[in-house]
Amino acid sequence: MLHLRLISPAARTDEATAVLEDCPGVTNIVVLPGAAREPKGDLILCDAARESANEVLGKLKWLQQEGSIAIEQVDLSLSKAATDAIEEAPGEPDDAVVWEELAYKLHSDSHITWAYLAFLAIATQLAGIGVLQNSPILIVGAMVLGPEFGAVAAVCFGLLHLRWHLIINSFKTLVIGFTVAIAITFACALVSNWLGWIDLGNLRVNEEVQFIVKPDRWSFIVALLAGVAGVLSITAGKSSALVGVFISVTTVPAAGYLAVALALADWPEVAGSVSQLAVNILGMIIAGTATLLVQRKFWPQVGRRSSV
């Protein structure tokens, strides 16, 4: 269930409550006349099944300009009315995509933040060390730590809705993020080479991690599957599944390998790393966009009730 807190101008409160009463899956409606001060108006509280949220938000879109809409996740609702509302709403909660919620989340993920840069840089350095130490465990750790899928999913959402500003910002986040992470890892590898800690021989005895620089048809297929799984995990709120997506694709390991190969001037490995990185990102964008399209157009409860 979702909990909605609405502020409506007094003159339109009856219109707002009529929408809530007519939508299947909405219950626990409470109206507090004159309770809101900023913006001024009536406070309306209600609970709605996830499957009904798009219809409610679509019909109350005017409240975004004239009042306010806030949504919270209800972890537990012990109420027969709530249970009946969920049963009344079409489809299953895990299958329903609340498009406004997804848009807000992905807009946030498309921005460059210090935390994003720090996590990506640390993950890339771990991947670089994993390449030099021939350690698949470190490679997997780097994959889990990488935060880049949020920006990839934002590109998918932007392509679906032709939001070019979101697409440009998301690509900028990916390019700048990987550039900074690779540059930091390159500098560390270069210093390590000068100190004699590493040399080109480290890249000649790393058979366990050679898959990073050898993209093939399977790399693209894995990227496609990861893109589908990643989008489904975000829309369904399955964070544990998203971790599996991170482990599936070698974007961060490819960036780490690229930085190390640049520092050691191993140009064939540089080319392989760039190819692997491009294949993974392209595959995830194609599959992620297709998955969002299917969720929007062909899943019954999404197709009938989508307002975006």
Please list, in sequence order, all residues whose beta carbon lies within 8 angstroms of the beta carbon of residue 65, skipping any fewer than 6 positions away: none
Instruction: List C-alpha distances in Å: 243 to 11, 94, 105, 146, 246.
Output: 48, 18, 17, 10, 5
Q: Write phi, then psi, for 234 (nearest 5 degrees).
A: -70, -45
| Tokens describing residue 216 | 């093939």
Instruction: List C-alpha distances in Å: 208 to 16, 34, 99, 203, 258.
Output: 61, 67, 42, 11, 16
In this prediction, residue 240 carries a pLDDT of 61
Q: Write phi, then psi, for 41 (nearest 5 degrees).
A: 160, -165
In this prediction, residue 123 carries a pLDDT of 94
| Tokens describing residue 29 | 């409606």
pLDDT digits (tens, 9 = 90+) for 117-139: 999 999 999 999 999 988 888 99
Residue 233 has pLDDT above 50, yes or no: yes
Angle of the 114-132 helix axis to the 251-263 helix axis, nearest 10: 70
- Read off the amino acid at residue 275: S
pLDDT digits (tens, 9 = 90+) for 65-88: 999 999 998 888 888 888 888 888
In this prediction, residue 307 carries a pLDDT of 41
Helix (H, G, I), strand (E, B) or coil at 170: helix
pLDDT digits (tens, 9 = 90+) for 237-282: 666 666 767 777 789 999 999 999 999 999 888 999 999 999 999 9
In this prediction, residue 234 carries a pLDDT of 87
In this prediction, residue 248 carries a pLDDT of 72
Residue 305 has pLDDT above 50, yes or no: no
Looking at the domain that runs over 2-96, which CATH code has it been given? 3.30.70.120
Residue 304 has pLDDT above 80, yes or no: no
What is the fold of 102-305? Glycerol uptake facilitator protein (1.20.1080)
Domain boundaries along the sequence of the chain? 2-96, 102-305
54 in Cβ contact with 307 (< 8 Å) = yes
pLDDT digits (tens, 9 = 90+) for 283-294: 999 999 999 999
Confidence band for 303, pLDDT divided at 50, 70 and 90: very low
In this prediction, residue 239 carries a pLDDT of 64
pLDDT digits (tens, 9 = 90+) for 138-195: 998 998 888 999 999 999 999 999 999 999 999 999 999 999 999 999 999 999 999 9
Please tell me the pTM assigned to this model.
0.83
